[in-house]
Amino acid sequence: MEIITKIKEMQKKSQSLREKKKEIGFVPTMGALHKGHMSLIEKSKKENNITIVSIFINPLQFDDQEDLKDYPRVLEKDLKICEKLSVDIVFIPSKEEMYPKPQLTFVRVERLSDNLCGLFRKGHFQGVATVVTKLFNITKPHRAYFGAKDFQQAQIIKKLVEDLNFEVEILVLPTIRDKDGLALSSRHKYLTAKEKEKAKLLYHALMKGVSLLEKDIKDSKIIIEEMEKVLKKEPLIKIEYLKVCDPNFLTDLKEVSNTALLALAVKIGKARLIDNILWRNR
């Protein structure tokens, strides 16, 4: 496994792999790898000759400096996981390498960035879209892998690739959950055992929404109220948003027809957690 920390070296490497007709799969991460990240890496291994994983905690996408400071950094452990999964290249640039001078160029995907997390994390998706653009230019992948857990992020990246004509295929893979349904997240490291126990209500709330849709209850207001009741059973959970959205445009739906994204964000203790489920009429 090769570890690359310099942009120029990574670009040269990717260029030469492309010239040798190797297909490159890319998995961008912020580290503290778990089974969610691992599922993306495994898929990339299956579909490509070379898999590149990046580990970079992107300051541009943190609206909360405390969150940035506290974000888990466990590089040794991450490298062991990458090694075990036979990752070919780990790209680990420093902050100074990625942003040697103040960044004056930004990528902003309009509309899709406005709702959901965009309402609460100012500048977050601009930070994500900008770093992903940089990382695509550095790693030159044929395919890039993202998790459905960050549904809005995945939609934004797909649109960015379409609008800016990147020659990269975006693959969005299912959310990996623990046995209680809790979507795995690097931010679980902030939770106490008790808080983690309560966090499973997030999945219960989403499932409540699904069960109502399955019973043909399509009024979003009712669905949101019922999901809210599930979360409000636990005072440790502070709701940021609970929404029923159009999965393509990420706008609020008053009434569901054939498909809907049920999405939520909450704070529990020090952690901000998000989750979602995409419902489709069968």
**One character per residue 5-44, x = contact with ligand AMP (rule: CB under 6 A):** ------------------------xx-----xx-xx----
Is-catalytic flag, 37?
Answer: yes
Rounded least distance, CB 12 to ligand AMP, Å: 25
Q: Restricting to residues 155-194, which ones interact with ligand AMP according to CB under 6 A?
A: 175-176, 183-186
Residue from 98, 99, 134, 130 nearest 113 by CA: 130
Residue from 7, 48, 5, 1 nearest 135 by CA: 7
For position 152 contacting ligand AMP by CB under 6 A, the verdict is no
Residue from 94, 91, 122, 95 nearest 108 by CA: 122
The strands making up 143-147's β-sheet, listed across from edge to edge, are 2-4, 89-91, 50-55, 24-29, 143-147, 169-173
For position 54 contacting ligand AMP by CB under 6 A, the verdict is no
For the chain, how are helix, strand and coil distributed in percent, rounded to 5? 45, 20, 35
- Comparing every residue's Cβ against ligand AMP, the nearest one is 147
For position 60 contacting ligand AMP by CB under 6 A, the verdict is no
Rounded least distance, CB 153 to ligand AMP, Å: 6
Considering only 78, 88, 150, 195, the residue that binds ligand AMP (CB under 6 A) is 150
Rounded least distance, CB 257 to ligand AMP, Å: 27
In sequence order, which residues have a C-beta less than 8 Å from that of residue 249 and are 6 or more positions away? 111, 112
Residue closer to ligand AMP, measured from CB, 133 or 186? 186
Rounded least distance, CB 28 to ligand AMP, Å: 6
* b/e 134-149 (16+ beta carbons within 10 angstroms → b): bbbebbbbbbbbbbbb
Sole residue written with tokens 């019973």: 215
Binding site for ligand AMP (CB under 6 A): 29-30, 36-37, 39-40, 146-147, 149-150, 175-176, 183-186
